[in-house]
């Protein structure tokens, strides 16, 4: 397929510039490229991908995002960030697409595939009469959970006595497991409503949906989505397993932790990471540290710079914590997470329950302690702990004694052992699903046919 003219058609992909969204889209791009399609990635300047990590014939088209200081806008909160991005990118994207289409004398552009958070794409593609496909970077269950909240007209967590009641449409969820987005700092409930309705509308109006999930995890929910939306639904995940060679990390990975893991006994290390966005307070950090120290387990802990409120990195960790744990623990700024989870020394994952982290853990058969922070993470934690039963959920604001107990339950208790066994079964299901004839593989075949017959 070296000759461009032999390629099957040209796909324009538009990722959302947040780590957990960008990675699945870039993995999808690599996968579809391997299936013979030409790829253009239209990306913002904020958090732009590194072209040298991708095949040389990938076309990268930057568009102005109008964020003179992306970090500053991002720090104001996800909702204003999404709003501003969508407002600013529409015109540059229209210009970029118009230029591309006018250069495209043989009409090879067949689809625009975009992240539903980049809903400005829908308007432009519609105007230019290019069909769209949405990539949902989270799971089908949380999509339904968001639509339930939208129907109720309330996107906020309400403190009332029904928090433990099951949600009628998804009875394994309690009301308090429905997604949450924090609007407190910005007072932007109306904005949140607007962003969410655009995002859901983008999903509902696409000509097809690609999901970074796999059928075995959510078959009933995927059928419901298919039935409700009446468009082809392609669950082809986990995408990171489909194009494992490409590095999509936006931050520099500290690879020294792999050497450290080599010195540890099998299944003896708990890996801790709360993803690319979540923040914790000083008090939470200190309780985590003392809980870890008291558990006497070995650990690899990612503390992302800026993720502890009021500090640059780990200055707020008590100095005695280092003295007590330096022989059995390592703290890094950012790890090669997939490689870490695949390492035989890892026995458990204490995670915020972001969807990529959850999938990455499932793929390696690692049981989880889920400590959800925002968005869909409560839904994921409930799936992990009560549906697939490959982990347990930590409730809010735990004290060090409870943390110590939970870590021991996961790493050395009978429950943890059983969770690990179930996680290993899920790992096998993923592997089967991705193999020729498996359900994700079949979905990918169907998607490829769909892309060739717009
Ligand atoms: N990640 C990583 N190194 C780290 C921490 C996280 O590479 O030290 C990656 C992780 O593998 C995952 C992504 O960052 O692919 C986080 O995505 P997720 O959906 O779990 O959470 P989010 O960052 O969106 O909250």
pLDDT in tens, 42-77: 999 999 999 999 999 999 999 999 887 767 777 778
Q: Read off φ and ψ for residue 375, nearest 5 degrees.
A: 55, -135
Q: How far is CA 305 from the centre of its chain?
A: 20
Q: Ligand 1 atom closest to Cα of 240?
A: 15
In tens, the pLDDT along 306-346 reads: 999 999 999 999 999 999 999 999 999 999 999 999 999 99
Residue range 152-184, pLDDT digits in tens: 776 555 566 678 889 999 999 998 899 877 665
**CA–CA separation, 330 and 297 (whole Å):** 12
Atom of ligand 1 nearest to the CA of 333: 8
Separation between Cα atoms, residue 54 and residue 9, nearest integer Å? 18
Instruction: Grade residue 5 by pLDDT with cuts at 50, 70 and 90.
Output: very low
pLDDT in tens, 337-353: 999 999 999 999 999 99
pLDDT band at 430 (very low <50, low <70, confident <90, very high): very high
Provide the mean pLDDT of the chain.
Answer: 92
Longest alpha-carbon distance in the chain: 67
Q: Which CATH number fits domain 256-431: 3.40.630.40, 3.40.50.2000, 3.30.70.270, 3.20.20.100?
A: 3.40.50.2000
Measured CA to CA, the distance from residue 431 to residue 435 in angstroms comes to 6
Q: How far is the CA of 19 from the centre of ligand 1 (A)?
A: 7
Q: What is the DSSP letter of 15?
A: -
- Separation CA 247–CA 269 (nearest Å): 24
> In ligand 1, which atom is closest to the CA atom of 23?
15
Note whether 12 and 100 are within 8 A (CB): yes
Ligand 1 binding pocket, CB closer than 6 Å: 19-20, 23, 249, 273, 275-278, 302, 334-335, 337-338, 354-357, 360
Q: What is the dihedral of CA 281, 287, 293, 299, to 10 degrees?
A: -40
| Among 322, 383, 326, 393, CA closest to 355 | 383
Kindly calculate the radius of gyration of the chain based on its CA atoms and give it in whole angstroms: 22
Residue 241: which H helix or E strand, with range? helix 239-242
Class at the top of the CATH hierarchy for domain 2-248+435-451: alpha beta
Residues 378-389 have pLDDT tens digits of 999 999 999 999
Q: Name the residue with the closest Cα to ligand 1, atom 14.
A: 275
Domains 2-248+435-451 and 256-431 share a fold: yes
Pocket perturbation via mutation, ligand 1, pick of 16, 19, 349 by most ligand atoms within 8 A of CB: 19
* Ligand 1 mean position, distance from CA 274 (Å): 7
Cβ atoms of 334 and 254 within 8 Å: the answer is yes
Give the domain ranges of the chain. Answer: 2-248+435-451, 256-431
């Amino acid at each position: 397929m070296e000759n461009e003219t032999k390629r099957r058609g040209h796909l324009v992909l538009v990722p959302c510039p947040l780590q957990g969204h960008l990675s699945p889209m870039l993995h999808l791009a690599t996968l579809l490229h391997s299936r013979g399609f030409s790829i253009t990635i239209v990306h913002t300047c904020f958090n732009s991908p590194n072209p040298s990590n991708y095949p040389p014939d990938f076309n990268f088209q930057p568009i102005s995002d109008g964020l003179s200081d992306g970090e500053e806008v991002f720090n104001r909160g996800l909702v204003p960030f999404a709003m501003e991005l969508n407002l600013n990118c529409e015109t540059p994207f229209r210009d970029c697409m118009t230029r591309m289409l006018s250069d495209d004398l043989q009409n090879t552009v067949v689809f625009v595939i975009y992240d539903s958070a980049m809903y400005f794409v829908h308007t432009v593609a519609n105007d230019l009469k290019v069909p769209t496909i949405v990539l949902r970077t989270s799971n089908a269950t949380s999509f339904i959970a968001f639509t339930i909240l939208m129907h109720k007209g309330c996107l906020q967590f309400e403190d009332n006595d029904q928090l433990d009641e099951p949600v009628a449409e998804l009875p394994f969820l309690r009301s308090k497991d429905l997604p949450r987005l924090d609007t407190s700092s910005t007072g932007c409930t109306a904005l949140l409503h607007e962003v969410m309705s655009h995002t859901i509308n983008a999903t509902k109006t696409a000509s097809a949906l690609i999901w970074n999930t796999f059928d075995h995890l959510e078959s009933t929910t995927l059928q419901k989505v298919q039935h409700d939306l009446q468009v082809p639904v392609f669950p082809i995940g986990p995408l990171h397993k489909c194009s494992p060679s490409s590095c999509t990390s936006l931050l520099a990975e500290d690879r020294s932790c792999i050497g450290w893991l080599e010195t540890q006994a099998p299944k003896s290390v708990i890996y801790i990471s709360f993803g690319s966005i979540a923040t914790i307070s000083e008090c939470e950090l200190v309780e985590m540290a003392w809980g870890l120290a008291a558990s006497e387990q070995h650990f690899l802990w990612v503390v992302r710079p800026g993720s502890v409120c009021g500090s640059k990195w780990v200055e707020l960790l008590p100095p005695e914590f280092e003295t007590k744990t330096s022989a059995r623990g390592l703290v890094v700024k950012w790890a090669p997470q997939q490689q870490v989870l695949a390492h035989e020394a890892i026995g458990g994952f204490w995670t915020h329950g972001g969807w990529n982290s959850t999938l990455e853990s499932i793929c390696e058969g690692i049981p989880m302690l889920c400590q959800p922070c925002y968005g869909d993470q409560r839904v994921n934690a409930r799936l992990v702990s009560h549906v697939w039963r490959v982990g347990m959920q930590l409730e809010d604001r735990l004290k060090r004694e409870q943390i110590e107990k939970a870590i021991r339950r996961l790493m050395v208790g009978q429950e943890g052992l059983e969770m690990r066994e179930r996680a290993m079964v899920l790992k096998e299901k993923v592997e089967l699903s991705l193999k020729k004839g498996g359900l994700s593989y079949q979905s990918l075949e169907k998607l490829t046919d769909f892309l060739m017959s717009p």
